[in-house]
Every structure is written in structure tokens, then in C-alpha cells.
Structure 1
Amino acid sequence: MANLRDIRNRISSVNNTQQITKAMKMVAAAKLRKAQDRMIETRPYASKIAEVAGRLVEYSEVSNPVMRKPETVKKVLFIVIGSDRGLCGGFNNNLFKEVEKQLHNNFQNYLDSDNLSMVTIGKKASAYFKKRKYDVIESFPGFFDDIQYDATSSIMETAIRQFISDEFDEVYIAYNEFKSVIAQERKVQKVLPIDTEKFSKKNSDNASEQAIDYLYEPNSQAILDRLLPLHLNMQLWRAVLESNASEQGARMTAMDSATENAKDLEKELKLKYNQARQSAITTEISEIVSGAQALSEN
């Protein structure tokens, strides 16, 4: 039977851990509310920009370098959005495994020829892919300590310049899309070149909008040139906000599970402690009775 002092110490340790996980759950819940608010505010703005750009592309004779479709894809860039901190369940590993699965299934020839590069956002993404010898050309650890639109747009503007200068022929974003507190959807989407067919499809879904004849001032080309970089910036900004909300939801769920597990373990230890204490008391009583009998016999 385990020593009573050891069991008491372990109960105390589990109780302390329980208090920590409970506090972390509450912190994650508070951060989740703020992250959700920012994410929900951004969604309609990003969607409307895509809708306006789609209308311009479909109903105007306009073009832009970011719409360039290369004859052959030679180099690919992946922007992977992870987190800076752990203790959030499978939030990071599930995304990273999905990215690796996509790479080995659809981009293996680019990996073999060293024509696939990565930009990682968050300490966990940087550490994971650098450790596995992927070509990480730029990393942004500590990015989520202070999430700023300017920092996000700077990353995308660099990717746009590299695409326009033919350094990369395709650019993808990998992130966790927020569905609910307990569910995130791992997404790998192509952002460059801009898929004009998707634009047209989204625009054709709304028949009433098609009937409107818009006038563009100064002209549709100037608006498109201004709108498409903004659309791409918003794509990455939205992905960052979705990832941040997903991270807080995953951490809240993980800490809730850890707290419940600590409670169960504490109950088991208390039961074990009571059994050990009862056994010790029984042993002491038996020894006292045996000693009393020995004295009476004498």
C-alpha cells in the first residue's frame, strides 16, 4: 500500500494543477470572446470585397498581374498559420499533418526539386517545419502577441510582389477555420493566382445583382487595381483572425478536459488515500489487541 504522505502530496499537486487549468480555461474563454468579435466583424467586409471584385472581373474587360495564370507552375509558396503557445489540444498538430498530407499527395515533385517554400506564422509552425527541414524562407514567431492588420498585410504584399516578379507561381494559405468552440476546420486554399472562375460563380449565385448596371469612377481598371491587393490582404487577415479564434476555442476545450481529468484523478487518489488510511488504522488496532491479549495471558 502506498505511503499516506506520498498520496497526500500527490492529491495536493493534482489540486494545484486543477486550479491552473481552470484559470487557463477562463482566460481562454475571455480571449475567445474578443477573437470571435473581431472575426465576425471581418467576415462580411471580406465577402463584400470579393463580391465587388468578382463583379468587376465578370462584367468588365479588366485584368491585373495577380490574375496571371502561369503556363507551368515552377515554384510554390505556402503560408502556414499556427500558434505561438501550446496547451490547445491538437490545434497545431492536426493542421500541420494536414499540410504535410497535402504536400506529399499533391506537391511531392516540388518538394523533391526544392521548389516549394514556406512562410510560417507563429512559433509552433516555425519550430515544426524547420525541424523537418522544409524550406522556411521567413517566420514570424510571437505574431499573436499583438495581432495587427499592418503586419498581416506586409506578409501578403511581399507574397504578391514575389508572385508578380515570377519568384512563385502559386501561393497557398493553410489555417484553422473557426466553426465552433469545439470544432475547427483545417483549410488549405489557393490565393494566388486569383481564381476568376470562383469570382464569377459567387457573383452568379445572386441573380438580382446581375440585373444592376454599375457605373465605375474613375474606371473599372483603376478600381480593380486598388481592390485586388486589398482583397488578398483581407484573405490573409481573415485567416489569421479565424486561426486565433480557433486557437482560443481549442485551448478552452483542452483546459476544460484537463480540469475534469484532474477532478477524476483527485477522486481516485482520495479513495486510495482513505483505503490506505483505513488499512493503517486496522493494522494499528490489530497490533494493540494482540499486545493486550499477550499482557492478559501473562
Structure 2
Amino acid sequence: MGAQLRVYRQKIRSAQTTKKITRAMELISASRIQKAQARVAASTPYARAITRAVSAVATYSNVEHVLTTEPEKIERAAIVVFGSDRGLAGAFNANVLKESEQLAELLRSQGKEVVYFLVGRRVSSYFQFRHRAAERVWIGGTDSPVFDMAQEVGQALLASFLRDSADGGVDEIHIIYNRFVTMLTQVPEVVRLLPLEVVEGVEEPGEHELLPLYEFEPDPETVLDALLPVYIESRIFNALLQSAASKHAATQRAMKSASDNADKLITTYTRLANNARQAEITQQISEIVGGADALASTK
């Protein structure tokens, strides 16, 4: 009984230590999520506006540009997967990896070769463990993204897109990231970054809505050339911010669940330890009474 009681007490101490760690991580994520949400809220309108601006130039300029022109045959497609550098975030990384596998299977069924660009240590480890190659990998800074990282990723993607597929370039680019919806909901999002899907001019204007008039200076080609890197970098940066906010929310939720489970374990092992202690006391009393009865019977 004594050995069993020691085991239960050791398990209680282990659960208490685990609870301290998970509780601390929960509080850290809770303190970071507010800033991450604010950065997402500040970045999303600009990303939408620049996408609409590029779409407007493509719609009303009537010029062919590499940004908006669909290739006759798409041979190579790039998938950019945004994950995290750290784990302990529930299904955060598993969700984007699952989406990337489904997208890759779809693209291969269309006869396209798939290449990967990876953001985050956990995503990179997933590919390394399975001995799968990636064109580029970016590690570090996923918890609090900076614009310099978005520029670096965007330049690499743009260089690959502008290069011919026969020379190792790609004909289209897809990005996959977790979009922050609420503290409880983060949805894996798949977006085709390039060629740009024109959105302005496709739908009819509303009853009281007037289409804007556009003038391009010096010419539409120059405007598109200037907007191309800005569009890519803004969308990449917004994806990084969305992914960071989703990761903090997923970590907070996962650590709260772990803390609750630790509480349940502590309660369960405490009850078992009390039962073991009571059984040990009962056994000791029985041995004393039995010894006393034996001594009384010998007199």
C-alpha cells in the first residue's frame, strides 16, 4: 500500500507541474492574441484594397500582363504553406497540411507538377520526416511576423513566377494559411495568389452603386508592374498575420484544455491516494487488533 500511495503522490506532483506550464502558456497566448488581432484588423482592409486596385487595372485597361493573363498550359504549380515554428497548438498545423495534401492531389490530377514553399518549423519538419523536397523554407518569426519576412517570401515567389517553367519557374501560385475568424474558430484558407483572379467588373453594380472611372498614368503596363510586388507582399503579410493570430488562439485553447485535463487528473489521483491511505490505515489497525487478540488469547 505504501508503494502505491507514493506512486499516486508522484503522479499528483507531475500533474501539478504540467498544469503550471500549460497555465503559463495559456496566459502568454492570451496576452499576445489581442495585439495579433489588432494587426490583422489593420492589415486586411489594405490587402483587400490593393487586390481590388490590381483587379480594376486588369479589368479596365484591356492589356495582357503576366499578373492577370492565364497561361495556355500550366505545367508547374507552387503551394505556399503557412505554419508555425512551435507546436502545442492543437490541430493548427495539421489543418493546413491536410489542405495542402488535398490541393496537391487535385493539381496532380490535372497534370501539374507541384512544388512547395514552406513557412514555419513545424511544416518543414513534416516534410523532412517524409523526405519530401521544398523549393524554399522560412523558419522563425511566425509568432510575430514582420514585413521584411513578407518581402523576402514575396520576392522569392515573384522570381519563381516570372521564370519560365522549363527553367524551374512556376505557372501559378497558391497559398494556404489559417484564417482567423473568432477565438474559437480558425479556418484553413486556400487562395490562388497568381495569376490574379479578376474580381472587379465581374458582378453587376448595385442599384445605387456607380462604377468608378479609371485613368492610368503613365500607362496600364507600368501601373501593373508597380502594383505586382505590392500586391504579392501585402497578401503574404496578411496571410502571415492571420496565421499568427490563429496560432495564438489555437495555443490558448489547447493549453486551457490541457490545464482542465490536469485538474481532472489531480482530482482523480487525489481520490485514489486517499483511498490507498485509508486502506493502509485500515490494514494497520487490523494488524494491531489482530496482534492484541493473539496476545489476549495466549494468557
What TM-score, normalized to structure 2?
A: 0.91
How far is the alpha carbon of 1:123 from its aligned partner?
Answer: 0.4
The CA deviation string for residues 10-47 of structure 1, in whole angstroms up to 9 with x for no partner, is: 10110111111000000011111111111110011111
Distance in 2, Cα, partners of 1:207 & 1:184: 35
Does the 8 Å contact 1:15/1:266 carry over to 2?
yes
The CA deviation string for residues 155-210 of structure 1, in whole angstroms up to 9 with x for no partner, is: 112211221222111111011111112211112221111112x34337x5566553
What TM-score, normalized to structure 1?
A: 0.91
Distance in 2, Cα, partners of 1:216 & 1:70: 25
Counterpart AA for 1:36: Q
Q: Does 1:159 align with 2:160?
A: no
How far is the alpha carbon of 1:277 from its aligned partner?
Answer: 0.6
Equivalent position of 2:36 in the other structure: 35
Counterpart AA for 2:120: G
The CA deviation string for residues 123-178 of structure 1, in whole angstroms up to 9 with x for no partner, is: 01111123323330111122326522122122112211221222111111011111
The CA deviation string for residues 50-103 of structure 1, in whole angstroms up to 9 with x for no partner, is: 222222222233443222311111111111111100000111112212211221
Residue segments in structure 1 that go unaligned for 5+ positions in a row: none
2:193 to 182, 191, 194: 191
Distance in 2, Cα, partners of 1:75 & 1:109: 11
Q: Does 1:76 align with 2:77?
A: yes
Equivalent position of 1:252 in the other structure: 252
CA 1:205–1:20 in 2, change beyond 3 Å: closer, same or farther? farther
Distance in 2, Cα, partners of 1:132 & 1:205: 50
Counterpart AA for 1:260: D
Equivalent position of 2:125 in the other structure: 127
Residue segments in structure 2 that go unaligned for 5+ positions in a row: none
Equivalent position of 1:285 in the other structure: 285
CA 1:208–1:239 in 2, change beyond 3 Å: closer, same or farther? farther
Q: Size of the alignment, in residue pairs?
A: 293
Question: Aligned-residue CA RMSD in angstroms?
Answer: 2.0
Distance in 2, Cα, partners of 1:109 & 1:220: 33
Partner SS for 1:151: helix
Partner SS for 1:144: coil
Equivalent position of 1:263 in the other structure: 263
Task: Using the aligned pairs only, state the percent identity.
Answer: 33
Equivalent position of 1:97 in the other structure: 98
Distance in 1, Cα, partners of 2:64 & 2:54: 11
How far is the alpha carbon of 1:289 from its aligned partner?
Answer: 1.1
Counterpart AA for 1:165: R
- The structure with the greater share of residues assigned to helix is 1
